[in-house]
Structure 1
Amino acid sequence: MVRDLLRLLCCGTLTLSGLVGCQQEGSPQSPAEMPRALAAPPAEAIPAKTTATEPPTKTADDILGEEALSPVALNGPSELLVRPDDRRPQHDEASLAQAGIHLFESKRLKLFTDVPAAEAEPLPQLVDQLYDELEQYFGPLPPDRQGSSFQMTGYLVNDLELFRSQGLLPEEFTFDHGVQRRNEFWVRDQDLDYYRRHLVLHEATHCFMNYMPDVDAPLWYMEGMAEYFATHRIGESGAQFRVMPTSARDFAGFGRMGIIRRDVATKLTPPIPSIASLEPAVFKTADPYAWSWALCAFLDGTPRYRNQFQKLGQATRGGKFEQEFRNSFPDEDRELATGWQLFLIHARYGYDFEHAAIDFQPGEPLSLSRPEASISISAQRGWQSSRVLLEAGKTYEISATGRFTLKAATGDTRAWESDPQGISFRYVDGLPMGTLVGCLRTETGPAGGSDDAMLQTIRIGNQRTFQAPVTGTFYLRLNDDWNSFFDNSGEVQVTLREVRSVGPVESDTQPGN
């Protein structure tokens, strides 16, 4: 019963009659105790969500219901487990249709709704496509005793009282967005087409992930993954899920990117351990949902971490998740902390994980036997290691040659040719688009801390002589928006050498990269 209640509560604003939000042993932290980035109100008009942690007293019916949900071994304990019995209520479809509630059905979803058919009819097929994606990612659910296909029942609600009067909405709760219980979910209708679909997909993901007993993965993961799978686009070839939103217009109502950008601007970005330790009680505003989504998107989208993160989908039962997560993403991992911090700073609509990913490669210092180094820097990637360690206080000369092409904006059909000095008709982060820039990655520092040195950009252009402010591996890239690397082409050749006797040199850097 406790598990089912938490599933019911985790997705929407929910009020249970007679329910008191008492804190039990290991009680969740209050909003006042959480990082400010997570306690602050949302930047966009996204209604808050709430959770509760104290269930009502169990009844005999509850206990019998839990027994019906328990997995059963076929032909002995060593055989394959079956999934819990389907306990969805059956409805008089003809009577509901007369009342104005119509059924739209597919293999995976029976959807009862009072919204217009044009808005509701495509949703079951969309959920079918999502289900295939969930199976591919997490693996299929076990079969049931009858060998039937898994199906959910959803209620897309415009008129709450109409659904109550027809017995489709339990009297004891209300909600603002969505709520899920076993393989049923309820979603309030939305004015925005994208967000209506998003909420249906979010709750359908919960039905899949929560249906088997003993799910004990933390709420940040369960909610983050539901948000992540629900973030979708529909094209000519069908729907795509787990996508990065491309614009506020195309993903109207989502709003998570606005929360991230707001908190980055006010320097309230939480480290990964803070998000991974979120308690259920803090999921009362859009903020923890936004950060949970961002962490799931980052770990799944970054090639370096993708395989480790996807394996966690097999560890959501049996008390394994927390340890598996700590083993895969330890708090002391400096590269992980730095990659996360850089992602947050650059996160924007259409962020390109594949091309922005950093391949951390430590450098070696120049020497008499190796007085200079040559590096090719691709226009299609973010920070790229030179594999040269610059030493604090020493002076270096960097020169670059070559030409490459850039697109001024995503979808622009024009290709602008540039050299490492950049194109001054358009600026990105305060510098001409295409300018060669660098930064330093310190190879030592506090465990688990992000490397702030990588936040200081050094403008290079065609040529630059400067004094290294710290000792660290030198990274380079061509200046462009972090959602636009993929449609660039070409590279530049960079030569780096130590200058042992020079006049005045430039040593300025600028924040932001």
Structure 2
Amino acid sequence: MNKLRLLALLAIGFASGPVSSALPADGPADSPSSTSAHRQVLDYKSKRLHVQTDLAPAEAEALYARLEETLKFAAKYWGRDPRGQIECYVVEDLDNWSDAELPHRLARVIVSGVGGATVPRAVGTGSRTRNVPTVFASSRPGVAEHEIVHAYCTQTFGSTGPEWYREGMAEMVVRGCTRESGVQCSREQFASLRIGKGTTVQQILSVGTTGRQISAALKLMMDDPAHDGHHVSSAAWTQRDSDNVVQARDEYLRSWAFCYMLLHNPNYAKRFRTLGKQFVTKQPRAFDEVFAAVRDEINFEYSFLLEHVAEGYRIDLCRWDWRTRFRPLDLGRSHKTRVVAARGFQASGLSVVAGARYTYQADGRWSMSADANDTDADGCVGNSGRLVGVVMDAFELSAPLLLGRHGSFEAPTSGRLYLRCNDPWNEVADNAGQIAVTFRSP
């Protein structure tokens, strides 16, 4: 095995909670104990998957079914059936496994320290050379499924794409969040995303330094003469290594959010799918070749997502309108627009001038849920359902403008006026109705 190949396929199972930094000091965790009751390693095979695991039979069968479904999903998304059979070792307790049953010297460290890894092995010669992956994973929820996505891409295409794409898409498949379900995360992960709201597209595209540090640590373990010819003990894993795993988990979480946004935002979805297929099929095309013209828009929408993300946040409904033409309001003229309740900020088509005053009239009614009473643009208690606006200038937003059924406002800055029905960002999907708004110069 080419030890350096681990670098490209390390995976941190961040969906499954933190990797413990309290590693065993010696002996018992690395080899079966004569005093322990060991569970049998079970074997499951199909044409495309070979799973060995020490999970209890019912849990093992459920895992096997999930892995098969993950492969089906990956094949459907990337448009190609798996090539050959993927070997997968899923470990609940390392005490149940002898070294002979884990066919890689780093298997114990991978499972107990990293969480999971897909290790490729080159077979064949010349133009017939291909990568045959082997998965090593802990039994924590989501880790083996995450790794199976890497293994599928490696075996089927020979490539997994850049790190941000590889890790983000693997977790996308595992989570199964659809456009309609909205964002689904743990409270801790939502908090981590919001803390990183200043993360830029360039930072996402540059993800990889932490993974390289983890890979370098594993290579040092393999090269250590003390481990020559033997499985590396999980005691070789250090606190610094554990800290790197925590850091990588945060990076990969933001990569997942980035991929999720691009895949489910109609502004970018078609181009993102095309780019992804080029990544895995080794077509040399960079992110900026595809998205250079909308790089600022993507930066803005990604930062906006990180700031407002919550359970059920709908990327498609909260997307920003970039194609609408905006015009200033000529003296004595009016401008009409429509605002849908079940959307985020929508382009009004009106360019405003700082300090200028505008009058408006909003007609129609909308509701905040299927069982709620409808209301006009004045909204109800706590400004729920109220017509609100913001002015965007150079991708910066003004403070919100509390509008309503009728009145006037002074533009806080020059720019483009966007409007929405005031409601928590993750609750807009069940809104109904629309408002027609007419603007005039006083």
- Sort the TM-score into its range (normalised by shorter chain): 0.7 to 0.9
Does residue 1:482 correspond to 2:425, yes or no? yes
Q: Give the whole-Å Cα distance in 2 for the aligned partners of 1:12 and 1:101.
A: 24
1:227 maps to 171
- In the TM superposition, what is the alpha-carbon distance from 1:141 to its structure 2 partner? 4.9
- In the TM superposition, what is the alpha-carbon distance from 1:263 to its structure 2 partner? 2.9
When residues 3 and 221 of structure 1 are mapped into structure 2, their CA distance, relative to the original with a 3 A threshold, is farther
- Structure 1 counterpart of 2:374, which letter? E
When residues 2 and 159 of structure 1 are mapped into structure 2, their CA distance, relative to the original with a 3 A threshold, is closer
Does residue 1:353 correspond to 2:315, yes or no? yes
Could you say what the CA RMSD is over the residues aligned between the two structures, in angstroms? 2.9
| TM-score of the aligned structures, taking structure 2 as reference length | 0.76
- In the TM superposition, what is the alpha-carbon distance from 1:178 to its structure 2 partner? 1.2
Q: How does 1:32-431 map to 2 (within 5 A)?
A: 46-47=18-19, 100-141=40-81, 150-173=84-107, 174-175=109-110, 176=113, 177-182=115-120, 183-190=133-140, 196=141, 198-212=142-156, 215=159, 217-232=161-176, 244-246=182-184, 248=186, 255-264=188-197, 269-281=198-210, 284=244, 285=247, 286-316=249-279, 320-321=283-284, 323-330=285-292, 333-360=295-322, 361-368=324-331, 371-407=333-369, 414-424=371-381, 427=382
- In the TM superposition, what is the alpha-carbon distance from 1:467 to its structure 2 partner? 1.5
Q: Give the whole-Å Cα distance in 1 for the aligned partners of 2:138 and 2:93.
A: 9
Query: Do the aligned residues in 2 keep the contact of 1:438 with 1:459 (CA within 8 Å)?
Result: yes
| DSSP-derived class of the 1:418 partner | coil
**From 418, 432, 436, the counterpart of 2:387:** 436
Q: Give the whole-Å Cα distance in 2 for the aligned partners of 1:276 and 1:345.
A: 19
Q: Give the whole-Å Cα distance in 1 for the aligned partners of 2:345 and 2:392.
A: 10
5+ residue gaps, structure 1, are 14-41, 50-97, 144-149, 191-195, 234-239, 250-254, 408-412, 446-450, 500-513
Query: Do the aligned residues in 1 keep the contact of 2:179 with 2:314 (CA within 8 Å)?
Result: no
Q: Give the whole-Å Cα distance in 2 for the aligned partners of 1:273 and 1:7.
A: 20
| DSSP-derived class of the 1:398 partner | strand
- In the TM superposition, what is the alpha-carbon distance from 1:107 to its structure 2 partner? 4.6
| TM-score of the aligned structures, taking structure 1 as reference length | 0.66
Q: Give the whole-Å Cα distance in 1 for the aligned partners of 2:138 and 2:204.
A: 28
- In the TM superposition, what is the alpha-carbon distance from 1:45 to its structure 2 partner? 5.5
- In the TM superposition, what is the alpha-carbon distance from 1:3 to its structure 2 partner? 6.3
- Report % sequence identity: 26
Q: Give the whole-Å Cα distance in 2 for the aligned partners of 1:184 and 1:468.
A: 60
1:493 maps to 436
- In the TM superposition, what is the alpha-carbon distance from 1:298 to its structure 2 partner? 0.8
- In the TM superposition, what is the alpha-carbon distance from 1:243 to its structure 2 partner? 6.1
Query: Do the aligned residues in 2 keep the contact of 1:387 with 1:473 (CA within 8 Å)?
Result: yes
- In the TM superposition, what is the alpha-carbon distance from 1:12 to its structure 2 partner? 4.2
1:11 maps to 11
- Structure 1 counterpart of 2:135, which letter? F
When residues 358 and 227 of structure 1 are mapped into structure 2, their CA distance, relative to the original with a 3 A threshold, is same
- In the TM superposition, what is the alpha-carbon distance from 1:492 to its structure 2 partner? 1.0
- Structure 2 counterpart of 1:421, which letter? D
How many pairs does the alignment contain?
373
When residues 232 and 421 of structure 1 are mapped into structure 2, their CA distance, relative to the original with a 3 A threshold, is same
5+ residue gaps, structure 2, are 22-37, 121-132, 213-243
Query: Do the aligned residues in 2 keep the contact of 1:282 with 1:288 (CA within 8 Å)?
Result: no
